[in-house]
Each structure stands twice: as structure tokens, then as C-alpha cells.
Amino acid sequence: PRLSVPPLAFIDGPNGVSRARPHVVAFPNAVVLAATWDRGIARAYGTALGAEVFGTGRNLVGAPTINIVRTPRWGRAAETLGEDPFLAGQTAAEEVLGIQSQHVISEAKHYAGNNQEVGRFGNPLGAPGVDVVVSERALREIYLPAFRAAVEQGHVGSVMCSYNRLNGRYSCQSPETLGILAGEFGFDGFIEPDAALAVRSDVAAATAGVDNFQLGT
């Protein structure tokens, strides 16, 4: 307040403003949006979502979810933008532009390799999270292009790093993984972790590039 900087006020919302607030729209699942193959509809979707977020007094929304669908057993597949990296990226970029036209920061999630439910939090809870082993080629061709589009074309203001490990290191604690965002994609926003168990070491996360330790979802 001393510097007239408003606080960040987060709410989730890949498929509409969450937490059962009254008088908000239950949007069609994001995978339905991607199925339109229509950039204009994606922009309108983001604009409507951003306006509703702003109307609740929030200014940071956990959307879009742009993890690539790689297994039908993934419980959050419906809130993503499908299995094609190009389609997901183009849809995400337009949705981000729409959201951020409403004075709301879009937070793209979950970076990176968060494509299954099993072991995300560790099994049992609190044990090491699942280690997603991905070749460099698959990472570049499948898992990262949608995030790149969200940054380069959508100018997304924030990215949420994920629970899982990626090639042995937690996504939120990996200088290599987080460094791609700014070093290669030109990302100049802030990074925050998914809730609770995404960060197992505050020092490692801060050193790797995590900026804000507010809880996501």
C-alpha cells in the first residue's frame, strides 16, 4: 500500500471462476474450446473469463491449463487444450490475451511435464513426487511449445510450476527447467509454484527462479 501497488489476489479458473461463487458462469471445458480450432473464440473465452475474475475483485487467475494430454487417465484432461502442441499453443495464446485485456494476470500452468495424476504429490503423500523422464526432443516438440506460445504470442504475466520432478529435479527447483522460460522464450513475468508440495526446498526454489510463494492450485 505504501507504494500504491495492489496486492495479488489469486483465484483458480481454467473452466470459469472457481469455488462456487454465485453469479458466475460455468464455462465449457477448455478441451471443448480447443476443439473449435478458432482463435477468435479462444480470445472471447479469455476475455469473458478475465472479466468475471476482475468482477470478483481478483487480479490473478490460474488459467489456462496447457499441459498436453498424454494419457486418458489424467484427471484434469478436460481443463487442458488437448493433445496437439500447436493447437494448444495457439488456443492458449489467444485465451491469455483475452484474460489480460481485463486487467487480470493470466497464470499458465502447470510447467512442466505435469501430465498424470499418479504420484504427483508423492505416494504416500509427502514422499518424492513422480519423476517424469522426458527426452530433450520430446520436451521441445511435445511438452514446451504451448508454454512458448503463451509467452511469446500471449505475453502471459505468470507461469505456475508443477508438483512433479522432470528428469530428476522438481520443476519448481530446477534452474534448467525454469531458465528456459526467460532464457529462451523471453518470459519477463513471475513464477509461482503449485500448492504446498510443489516446493520441497524454499532455498532451491528461490535460487532456481521461483518469485512468489503464494499457493496455487
φ and ψ of 169, to 5 deg: -125, 140
Does the pLDDT at position 217 exceed 50?
no
Active-site annotation holds for 211: no
| Whole-number percent of the chain with pLDDT over 90 | 76
User: pTM here?
Assistant: 0.93
Catalytic residue among 84, 194, 202, 211: 194
Pseudo-torsion of CA 182, 187, 190, 191, nearest 10°?
-60
pLDDT in tens, 151-203: 999 999 999 999 999 999 999 999 999 999 999 999 999 999 998 889 999 99
Contacts of 3 (CB under 8 A, 6+ apart): none
